[in-house]
Amino acid sequence: MLDINLLRTDPERVRENIRKKFQDAKLPLVDEVVAMDRENRETMQKADSLRNQRKVLSKQIGGLMAKGQKDEAEAVKAQVNALADELAGLEKREEELQAEIRKRMLVIPNIIDDSVPIGRDDSENVEIQRYGEPVVPDFEIPYHVDIMERLSGIDLDAARKTSGNGFYYLMGDIARLHSAILSYGRDFMIDRGFTYCIPPYMIHGNVVSGVMSFAEMENMMYKIEGEDLYLIGTSEHSMIGKFIDTILDESQLPQTLTSYSPCFRKEVGAHGIEERGVYRIHQFEKQEMIVVCKPEDSPMWFDRLWQNTVDFFRSMDIPVRTLECCSGDLADLKVKSLDVEAWSPRQQKYFEVGSCSNLGDAQARRLQIRVKGADGKKYLAHTLNNTCVAPPRMLIAFLENNLQADGRVRIPEVLRPYMGGKEFIG
């Protein structure tokens, strides 16, 4: 959510940002907010004036009563009552205006960074760099579910009976590999100085609206019926929510956290749920990175976060590339975003395995995450998040890049301690 002062002083900058994101339907919101904000400030000023008048008149009543001038006191009381009725109307209008302003402000997108490439959708994202040599072996790479089934590692049919499409049973060495990757991701991030955390898997509605846009919430979040609770779609939601309504001393920054959680997503939209596969599913697990920092430090942390993911995948010899997300592909709260994609030998192309985002002060403004500077002044923090690893999607890249001609799957050296020393499975 933007600072209202930006719309007061430079509404054209907000309009231009909306155009850069190809959301022209939202342009009228700027004028609506500006007009409502002007009316709201005028209403507040008038209300303050009435309160002062009421205060002065109320003092007069006591003086008149003390002098025995009861009739005059009653006349002043009538004026006070009339002011109270008018004031109640103004206060009600204030509430209405503030609610309408907030509703529109929550929809107006955040100001994107000047470095973000302009484009309509993910087809116009820009490749930045490749890491590792993508290899296509001289034998056929089966579909990832076929690899898992040959290793007795997945049961989609049973999951379909118990839960429907978008769920799975992982079994045996594949299930162990899944857990090994998460454990390695946890230790990898701890070794990089991040504090490990396991957060709540459900959060209140005010936290949901604080960390994401309404459209994202509708397409992603599962709500618990009859309660103000939502299942998290990523641990970033509850980890950023951890700081709601807090004032951090500047000396406490940066907050660098790495969190494990299951993630639950409706996956409503164009992509849909795969009937046979684990790329787009309703339930998965993830190791996440979260940073709360000073505004001037967020560009540096953005680069460090995505580099962590690149280093993690390269430590297992999986080729990856980085993509700068264009303006039209950015969620409304994001200032800047970069995707990490892993190489798929079977498809002979890269696919997304992680996403790094700088949200500026948008989440902090919604959740009131403030910092007290050395001079005693308070300001909004910046928040960032990034995926370290999210199996089972990551398993697709892992299995395809480590499959051997004889059907076995090689275990990279860094993972062997988590797999009981095994060098291969199969």
Together in a domain, 144 and 250: yes
The pLDDT assigned to 274 comes to: 66
Of the three residues 70, 105, 140, the one that is the final residue of a domain is 105
Relative to beta strand 230-231, strand 202-203 is: antiparallel
Of the three residues 46, 76, 105, the one that is the final residue of a domain is 105
Q: Which residues, 6 or more positions from 15, have their beta carbon under 8 angstroms from its beta carbon?
A: 27, 30
Q: In terms of DSSP H, where are the helices of 285-348?
A: 298-314
Backbone angles phi, psi at 317, to 5 degrees: 60, 30
The pLDDT assigned to 218 comes to: 78
Together in a domain, 46 and 163: no
**Domain-located, residue 114:** no
**pLDDT value at 87 more than 80:** yes
**Domain-located, residue 112:** no
**Domain-located, residue 374:** yes
Together in a domain, 189 and 232: yes
Together in a domain, 354 and 393: yes
Tell me the per-residue pLDDT of 290-337, one tens digit each, with 9 for 90 and over: 999 999 999 999 999 999 999 999 999 999 999 999 999 999 999 999
327 CB-contact burial (10 Å; exposed 0-12 / middle 13-18 / buried 19+): buried
Together in a domain, 89 and 171: no
The rounded mean pLDDT for the chain is 93
Mean predicted confidence (pLDDT) in 115-141: 96
Cα 205 from Cα 211, distance rounded (Å): 10
Together in a domain, 144 and 288: yes
* 8 Å CB contact between 396 and 318: no
Kindly write down the DSSP assignment for every residue of 322-356, as one continuous string: EEEPPGGGS-TT-SEEEEEEEEETTTTEEEEEEEE
Here the tokens at position 327 are: 């303006």
Together in a domain, 62 and 152: no
**Domain-located, residue 53:** yes
Tell me the per-residue pLDDT of 341-380, one tens digit each, with 9 for 90 and over: 999 999 999 999 999 999 999 999 999 999 999 999 999 9
Tell me the per-residue pLDDT of 391-410, one tens digit each, with 9 for 90 and over: 988 999 999 999 999 999 99
The pLDDT assigned to 53 comes to: 85
Domain with 84 in it: 4-105
* 8 Å CB contact between 349 and 363: no
Kindly write down the DSSP assignment for every residue of 210-245, as one continuous string: HHS-HHHHHHHPEEPTTSS-EE-SSHHHHHHHTTTT
**Domain-located, residue 352:** yes
**pLDDT value at 58 more than 80:** no
| Residue 272 pLDDT grade (very low, low, confident, very high; cuts 50, 70, 90) | low
Cα 363 from Cα 360, distance rounded (Å): 8
**Domain-located, residue 115:** no
Q: Among residues 102, 387, 379, which one has the least CA distance to residue 253? A: 379
* 8 Å CB contact between 371 and 248: yes
Together in a domain, 153 and 61: no
Together in a domain, 90 and 234: no
Kindly write down the DSSP assignment for every residue of 196-207, as one continuous string: EE---SEE-HHH
Tell me the CATH number at 58: 1.10.287.40
The pLDDT assigned to 273 comes to: 66
Q: Among residues 341, 316, 303, which one has the least CA distance to residue 185? A: 316
Of the three residues 105, 137, 152, the one that is the final residue of a domain is 105
Task: With H, G, I as helix, E, B as strand and everything else as coil, classify residue 335.
Answer: coil
Together in a domain, 94 and 126: no
| pTM attached to this predicted model | 0.90
The pLDDT assigned to 86 comes to: 87
Mean predicted confidence (pLDDT) in 231-253: 96
Tell me the CATH number at 384: 3.30.930.10
Amino acid at 317: D
The pLDDT assigned to 309 comes to: 98
| Residue 269 pLDDT grade (very low, low, confident, very high; cuts 50, 70, 90) | low
* 8 Å CB contact between 137 and 405: yes
> CA separation (Å) from 223 to 119, 155, 392?
33, 27, 24
**Domain-located, residue 70:** yes
Mean predicted confidence (pLDDT) in 51-72: 78
- Residue in the structure block whose two tokens are 């050296």: 413
Mean predicted confidence (pLDDT) in 187-196: 98
**Domain-located, residue 84:** yes
Mean predicted confidence (pLDDT) in 224-253: 96
Kindly write down the DSSP assignment for every residue of 71-132, as one continuous string: HHHHHHHHHHHHHHHHHHHHHHHHHHHHHHHHHHHTTSPPPPPTTSPP-SSGGG-EEEEEES
Domain count, the chain: 2
The pLDDT assigned to 64 comes to: 72
Here the tokens at position 220 are: 């992603």
207 CB-contact burial (10 Å; exposed 0-12 / middle 13-18 / buried 19+): buried
Least confident segment among 51-60, 144-153, 202-211, 257-266: 51-60
**pLDDT value at 17 more than 90:** yes
Together in a domain, 209 and 318: yes
> Please, what is the end-to-end C-alpha distance for the chain in angstroms?
51
Together in a domain, 196 and 316: yes
HEC string of 373-387?
CCCCCEEECEEEEEE
